[in-house]
Structure formats: structure tokens, C-alpha cells
Amino acid sequence: MKHQLTLAVKKHSIAIERFLRVARHRGFALTSLELEGAKNDELFHIKMTVDSDKPIYLLTTQLSKLVEVKDVQLQTLKQQAV
């Protein structure tokens, strides 16, 4: 099942690798990624689509824990209740 997420991530180069690693490791295949970071903005604004049989909250809760991730929003499809 595909899910689209938007993330606000602190503009550190390692931060991109960090959240992408979490997505892969937790079993969510990346199908698209858009990243924007204006020069004066302290954050990267990211849209990503992931595909997995697993409920999406298993990813959003892990991403929300990352120190550099300031916001995670699920854009499409219902989040499976815990």
C-alpha cells in the first residue's frame, strides 16, 4: 500500500540519509522523493511516497523520534489505528 508523507527536517546533510535509512530498515520502499530547502530556511521540506504491506504508523512513529525530524504528516490514505 502506498502512503505519501511530508516531513520537515533540520537542514543537515546527514539528516536525509538518516530518515531514508529508517524507512528502508522498517520495511517501507521509497517510490518517490521531493526535497526542497531554500537558502535561508533552516529546514528541508520533503514529500515522499513509500510502499509497504505494513501499517504506516510503524514508520511515522519511528520518523517522529529522529532528532532532526521536526514534523511528520501523513498526506493520503487512512492511518491504521493502533
Q: Which residues bind other proteins (CB under 8 A)?
A: 14, 17-18, 21, 25, 57-58, 61-62, 64-68, 82
Q: Which is nearer to other proteins, 25 or 39 (CB)?
A: 25
Q: Which is nearer to other proteins, 14 or 78 (CB)?
A: 14
Strand arrangement, sheet containing 2-10: 29-36, 43-51, 2-10, 69-74
- Shortest separation between residue 66's beta carbon and other proteins, angstroms: 8
- Shortest separation between residue 65's beta carbon and other proteins, angstroms: 6
Which of 3, 19, 14, 26 has the alpha carbon at shortest distance from 71?
19
- Shortest separation between residue 3's beta carbon and other proteins, angstroms: 16
